[in-house]
Every structure is written in structure tokens, then in C-alpha cells.
Amino acid sequence: MRDVIEGITAQLDRVPLSRFAPSPTGYLHLGHLVNAICTWGITHALGGKVILRLEDHDRGRCRPEYEAAILEDLEWLGLLPDIGTVEAFRAGATRYRQRDNAAAYDSALAQLMATDHVYGCDCSRKTILARAPQTNDELCYDGFCRDRALPAEVPHGTRMWLPSKPIHFDDAWRGPQTQTPAEQCGDILLRDRHGNWTYHFAVTVDDLDQGVNLVIRGEDLLASTGRQILLSERLGRVDPPVYLHHPLITDPAGRKLSKRDFDKALRDYRAEGASPEEVLTLAAQQAGLIEAGRRIDVGELPGIFA
């Protein structure tokens, strides 16, 4: 794992600031724990700090009981953030909870709307699919509303047009990458017709606003990197974060673990009598981060990568 650390230090000339950013739409499972192991282990191996951020932009699916469970799980495991503490979340509003951070998103959107990059859109997924067959793994917007002069506010969605240019970046785990977001997803949605901030917009604003310079996340989010780099450039960021996309735990069918599919939660292991060390070890072994037979505790996470 030493080459991972070297890949980051080759790109980052400052102390790293990363974030563990689950969404309170369900209980944490082993897949989330793999991300936590990588985030705490790599960041602390480099002498950096970890932010806890709760990404609850999806107001329809997020629940207070899931937030409470996330905080309990992290305390039980001993994964205590350096910034955005568990106590701060329990105390009330914090800038590290997305629903408390509306002022930052409003300001960023106003900045973009002062340019010619943003427009209103009334297209639904159904109408987009009806206009053109999709050849990508994700929905690709065709720019239909660019010239319709619709208000870029509820009840319309708000989109940002993307130039047809490749984005190059060096992933600290996977090496050099090239993506063309305009071909992958088309013009990206910043806010939906119900007034919900989208994932891409909220996390990009948060990373810029909170000074995050190292993003450690699963390989399922690799494809979103180029568009977030483009968006951060539009918001005035000169140097994007260093990105690292680690492998995922999958089931026997090759499907990644999912809260929506009710994969076994960390709290279930605890209820069965497992110790934090046993659960950390299980996650690290299943992700191939440590060899069979080795046991780890939270204090040993930096040593996995150092």
C-alpha cells in the first residue's frame, strides 16, 4: 500500500484534509466501513485530518434515526473524526450537515447564475429517455432546455452546461484517468424541480468551502470525478482535490453492498456480539486491504498503508 501514499504525496504539497461522508438514508454496512478504513488510515498515515460530513441533501430518504445510528457506529468502532465531531452533530446545526449548509449552496448557485453557464430545465427522466436512446450506463442529458429561457428555479430544475472537453487527473489508486463529462452525463443538474440540491453540486461546494484536498471514496464514484472537477473550476477552485477510488466489497454475484438492499448493517454485527476489532478486520480482509489471519484495531489503520 506504500505506493498509494506515494501517489498522494506526489500530488499534494499540503497536509491532507479528507472527509468521511455517509448519507443518513440507511444503516452503515461493511462497504461504508471499508471507506472509513481507507479514509482514516490513509489520511492519518499522512499526518492529516478527517472531517465527518453527513450528506443529507436527499430530504425524501434521509432520516434522523439513521443519522443517530451512524454516530453510534462510529463511536463504537473508535472512528472519531478530527473535525465535525459526533458531539457537534448531536448539539444541533453544523456546517458539516448538508441540510444546515443551505447558505453555502445558495451563494455558490448565485455565483454560477451570474454567468451564462446555468439554465432552467423542465425535463423528466421519462422525457429524456423518450427523445433519445441511452448508450451510457447513466442517463445522459441532451441539452434540450439550453435555449428555452426557462426560469432556473423551482418548479424547474437548474442545470449547468458542460463543455465538450476531456478532463485529465491522476487517481492515487488507479493512476492516470481521462473523462469527458459532456459525453458521460451531459449538462449536470444542480438543483432538482423540488428544490433539492443534487449530490454533485453539494459535495463539490462542500469540498471547496471546507478545504477538502483529498477525496477518498469507492470506485463506483470514479466516473463522477471529471464533472466535479469541472464544476469546481466554475466555482473558482484552482487546484482540485487529489482523488483516490478504492475497491469495493461485492456479494457473490458481483453486486456492491447497498443500504437499499438491506445488506447486513454494522449494528447487526454488534448485536450478535462482535467486537469492533472483529468487524474492522472482517471489512479490511474482504476488501483485500490486509492478509488472512491478520487482526487489526482502529489504532493500526495508518499502518495498513504506511
**For 287-300, what is each residue's pLDDT tens digit?**
999 998 899 999 99
What residues are paired with 160 via a beta bridge? 118, 188
Spans of the chain below 50 pLDDT: 261-262
Supply angle C-alpha 190, 65, 247, rounded to 5: 60
Q: Which domains does the chain have, with CATH numbers?
A: 2-305 (3.40.50.620)
How far apart are the C-alpha atoms of 228 and 104, rounded to whole Å? 17
* Residue 262: per-residue pLDDT: 46
DSSP, residue by residue, 66-89: HHHHHHHHHHHHT---SBS-HHHH
The answer to pTM > 0.85 is yes
**DSSP at 249:** -
* Residue 3: per-residue pLDDT: 87
How far apart are the C-alpha atoms of 288 and 25, rounded to whole Å? 27
* Residue 2: per-residue pLDDT: 77
* Residue 263: per-residue pLDDT: 76
What residues are paired with 97 via a beta bridge? 54
* Residue 135: per-residue pLDDT: 77
Question: Do the Cβ atoms of 244 and 173 come closer than 8 Å?
Answer: yes
* Residue 250: per-residue pLDDT: 76
Which tens digits make up the pLDDT trace of 77-114? 999 999 999 999 999 999 999 999 999 999 999 999 99
Question: Do the Cβ atoms of 16 and 199 come closer than 8 Å?
Answer: no
The radius of gyration of the chain from alpha carbons, rounded to an integer in Å, stands at 20
